[in-house]
Amino acid sequence: MGDHPLKILMAASEAAPLAKTGGLADVAGALTLELARQGHDVRLALPRYRWAGGAAPRLDPWTTLAVPVAAGAVAALVERGPYPSRRDTRARVYAIRYDPFFDRPGLYQEGGGDYPDNLARFAFFSRAVMELIAALGAEEGWTPDVLHVHDWQTALCPVYLKTLYAERSAHARTASLLTVHNLGFQGIFPAADYALTGLDERLFGLQGLEFYGRVSLLKGGLLFADFLNTVSPTYAREIQTAELGFGLDGVLRERSGRLVGIVNGIDTDDWNPAADPHLPRGYSAADPSGKRTCKRALQRELALPVRNVPLLAMVSRLTAQKGVDLVAEVLPELLALDVQVVVLGTGEPMYERLLCDLAGRDTAKLAVRIGFDEPLAHRIQAGADLFLMPSRYEPCGLSQLYSLRYGTIPIVRRTGGLADTVVGYSPLAVREGRATGFLFGEARAEDLLSTILLALKVKKDAGEWARLMRAAMATDVSWSRSAATYVELYRRILAEGG
């Protein structure tokens, strides 16, 4: 397909900084901007939510779409404007406005419960994306080469492209890619809601959207998208197994020839220890001395004694998936050593209570903060020596990428993106400048503890530790490489066709 710039329509249910509940928003936003920076013509379609605070973009009314729904058609206003960014890019946002569905306090849920009409909401959004493609062609002469959709919320787009819109000339030249960020979230709804999709009832079966008697929007996307990818090569293999396939491993094995893994990047402007506004002092691989200042400041902030002892950190959702139970299990033995531990996060109440109880018993060694605090997360990454991430499964993971960038050596379980982004310690790997962290295999407390003890032993050798830090900080965790890999995939999709 050559090296000409591509026309890409990104469709996502959230994108930072406009609307965010998790990592999907970081990826959709950062990838859109990086692709535009690399010279591609990228447009992002997302629902027009109730914008929060300073994230509200500069959008103007552009056109009105007639979006088909079960009862006929409804009018949806499209608002258009530049994608908000510190960098000047040509990326544009097309926000699809239909207030009865999207002018709400939350994106998918409220008060801890999902909106009961989520299937109707995101079937509507996916149909609106199809109509947007037609409007872009008619009003701007712009037809996307690739429609890149994300997770269950937009998984109906490839289904519509191959069924209801298959005969339309406006859609004939557009290929589709579905990115799965976490297979555990599939958009599963009662069979009685299937009619809301507008699809032929014959597609509600084993070779369609039926999933154990219910509707799975993600399954539809997995079957109909031209290509599939997920957010690390190891996770792409893991989801083809019964253990991590969440019931869809058979579908994924069938499509394995069109399933690839591409590791996420991070915003290296936001996460830059040399110029991070949240830190008391910056530092770099060439001059890491400021990290000591960050550590002392973090100890003072969290009311820990200012001592030169190993400081271990965890910043995470406090759930079993993230292995917080393993950390809680090893903490009593760990705190018997001359170390300090910091935990920041929110999650399951039982883990919040357990960690707070342990912290109350040993205030000199363990500091726990329940909540989401982005500036504190930056200061923890800068001030800690070691970062704990013992996830049971991890499609990609971002925290370990922040840790590498900040020279905070990660201790991770060998799964998903953790296995793909952290090079495990061995004396030879350190000498060769490859080792960037410590990995362990089984999700068992004793395996985590023995790996922590190994890391603490290695830390006593200042030269060895300095080499580990340099290699970690030299790791390319930017979006530029990942975006270039996506471009290679887009060109492969266009070359191989549907």
pLDDT tens per residue, range 227-245: 999 999 999 999 999 999 9
**Domain ranges within the chain, ordered by starting residue:** 7-265+480-496, 290-476
Q: How far apart are CA 28 and CA 267, in angstroms?
A: 12
CA 488 to chain centre: 20
Q: What's the confidence (pLDDT) of residue 287?
A: 95
Long-range contacts of 454-460 (CB under 8 A, 24+ apart): 454/425, 455/386, 455/409, 455/411, 455/425, 456/310, 456/337, 456/339, 458/425, 459/310, 459/385, 459/386
What residues does 46 pair with on adjacent strands?
Answer: 95
User: Is residue 8 within 8 Å of 43, Cβ to Cβ?
Assistant: yes
Query: CATH top-level class for 7-265+480-496?
Result: alpha beta
pLDDT category at 54 given cuts 50, 70, 90 is low
Query: Given a cut of 80, is residue 294 above it in pLDDT?
Result: yes
Q: What's the confidence (pLDDT) of residue 51?
A: 77
DSSP states of 422-468: -PBP-HHHHHTT---BEEE-SS-HHHHHHHHHHHHHHHTSHHHHHHH
Neighbours of 426 (CB within 10 A): 11
Between 232 and 51, the higher pLDDT residue: 232
Query: Given a cut of 60, is residue 52 above it in pLDDT?
Result: no
Same fold, 7-265+480-496 and 290-476: yes
The domain made up of 290-476 has a fold known as Rossmann fold (3.40.50)
- Over residues 23-51, the mean pLDDT reads 93
Query: Given a cut of 50, is residue 494 above it in pLDDT?
Result: yes
CA 439 to chain centre: 21
CA 341 to chain centre: 26
- Over residues 15-41, the mean pLDDT reads 91
User: Is residue 335 within 8 Å of 367, Cβ to Cβ?
Assistant: no
Cβ neighbours for 387, distance < 8 A, ≥ 6 positions apart: 312, 313, 314, 315, 381, 399, 400, 403, 408, 409, 410, 411
State phi, psi for 435 to the nearest 5 degrees: -70, 135
Query: What tens digit of pLDDT does each residue of 251-276 get?
Result: 999 999 999 999 999 989 889 999 99
Q: How far apart are CA 283 and CA 274, in angstroms?
A: 5
Query: Given a cut of 90, is residue 57 above it in pLDDT?
Result: no
Q: What's the confidence (pLDDT) of residue 111?
A: 83
Percentage of the chain exceeding pLDDT 70? 98
- Over residues 300-317, the mean pLDDT reads 97
Q: What's the confidence (pLDDT) of residue 55?
A: 62
Query: What tens digit of pLDDT does each residue of 437-476 get?
Result: 999 999 999 999 999 999 999 999 999 999 999 999 999 9
Query: Given a cut of 70, is residue 81 above it in pLDDT?
Result: yes
Q: How far apart are CA 345 and CA 332, in angstroms?
A: 20
Q: What's the confidence (pLDDT) of residue 306?
A: 97
Q: What's the confidence (pLDDT) of residue 198?
A: 95
Query: Given a cut of 90, is residue 3 above it in pLDDT?
Result: no
Average pLDDT score over the chain: 95
Q: How far apart are CA 11 and CA 486, in angstroms?
A: 15
Q: What's the confidence (pLDDT) of residue 1?
A: 46
Q: Which two tokens stand for residue 460?
A: 């006593």
pLDDT category at 112 given cuts 50, 70, 90 is confident
Between 195 and 3, the higher pLDDT residue: 195
Q: Which two tokens stand for residue 406?
A: 């900040």
Percentage of the chain exceeding pLDDT 90? 90
Place of tokens 């999207």: 102
Place of tokens 């893994």: 261
